[in-house]
Structure formats: structure tokens, C-alpha cells
Amino acid sequence: MFGSVQAENTAFLMVDIQERLMPSIDGNEAVLRNAVRLLTAAKVLKLPLIVTEQYPKGIGPTLPELNELVPAGTPRLEKTRFSCCGCAGFDEALDALGRSVTVVFGIETHICILSTVMDLIDRGRNVVLAADACGSRSSENHALALDAVRRGGALVVPTETVVYRMLGAAGTPEFKALLPLFK
């Protein structure tokens, strides 16, 4: 499956990184830093993206520092289901992107991320989880969920691996633009 993870067939899915929930996430600064890296890579590499928000009336909107990195025209979907799959407009938006691989990141790993990843796999999609761009309120729940999605068939890797895989090679203008994110 890792051989099929290339920029031309990959879309990104940012799940529920919202104002009222993020402060309670264990390691939230690292999760935010890695989400910024992924969104920046998506922008530089012109990768398609979907953004979801879990009940924004109660949990608040996506963090502003992430919102500013989301390109205009990106599908933004509100949901109340824990899995993104089956939410109004999600399946259609993902299908419309025409990509066979979905890189998933966001919060919380043991609830919305786990549910979404397992549902995507059940639907025959290849899923990569950017583990360090995901988080839960407890590190134990995060670790258990990472193990579950790995056993379920997702490729679980760090953000840096995702970005370098999308780049494919050094020496390009895109590589030069993204290299400072990891120094």
C-alpha cells in the first residue's frame, strides 16, 4: 500500500481540530505544529483537502491558525456523527476528489479519527494516518487508537514521512519550500 502513496493520488482530511477541544488534547502543541506542516504541504503541493468540524456550535470552529492555511473552495463539512463517513456531503466530496489514498489527521484519535479511518478502510480506501498530527485527551487513548487503526489496515506514520512521500524527491522548488518546516 505504501507504494501507492504519491501526491497525484492522495487527498488530505483534517478532522475536527477545533477551538474548544484543542486545549484539552495531550501534546496539543505538537499536534498543532504537525497539522500546520500538513496543511502547508497540501497548499504547496496543491493537494486536495477536506475539513470537518464536529458540532461547531458547541465545540467551536476550526483553529484560526489552521483556517488561514486552508485554500478557498476547500470542502468544509459540519458533522454530529463521530465518523466523517456518512455525514452530509462527506462521501460525495471525497469521491469528487478522485484520489485513492486519504491522509487523515486531527482529533480525537480514539473517537472521530478511529471511526473515520475504520469506515474508510471498510469502504475500500487506502488510509494513511499522520500519527503525530492526531491527539486525544489522554496519551493512553491515543496509543490504543493508533494500534487499532494499524491493525485495521491503515498505514500509521509521522507527519514528516507523509510530507517527504508527497514530495518524492529532493531538489525541487516544492522541496525547498517545505524543507524549513522540518529544520
What pLDDT does 50 receive? 99
E strand or H helix at 130: strand 126-135
The three cell numbers of residue 35 are: 497539522
As beta bridge partners, residue 78 has: 53
- Classify burial at 43, counting beta carbons within 10 Å of its beta carbon; exposed 0-12, middle 13-18, buried 19 or more: middle
Tally of residues, the chain? 183
Instruction: Compute the average pLDDT of residues 24-52.
Output: 98
**β-bridge partners, 155:** 128
- Whose cell is 459540519? That residue is 78
Distance CA 117, CA 76 (A): 18
Provide the pLDDT confidence category of residue 5 given band limits of 50, 70 and 90.
confident
CA distances from 36 to 15, 105, 133, 147 (A): 13, 11, 9, 24
* This model's pTM is above 0.85: yes
Work out the pLDDT band at 2, boundaries 50, 70, 90: low
99: cell is 484520489
Structural domains of the chain ordered from first start: 2-177 (3.40.50.850)
User: Over the Cα atoms of the chain, what is R_g?
Assistant: 15
Q: Look up residue 61 and give its three cell numbers.
A: 470552529
H or E element: which one contains 86?
A: none
Kindly report, residue by residue over 61-81, the tens digit of the pLDDT: 999 999 999 999 999 999 999
Q: What are phi and psi of 79, to 5 degrees?
A: -145, 160
Burial class (CB in 10 A: 0-12, 13-18, 19+), 58: exposed
pLDDT in tens, 135-167: 999 999 999 999 999 999 999 999 999 999 999
AA identity, residue 104: V
Residue the block writes with cell 494499524: 150
Q: CA 58 to CA 71: how far, in whole Å?
A: 25
Helix, strand or coil for residue 71?
coil
Q: Is the pLDDT of residue 24 over 60?
A: yes
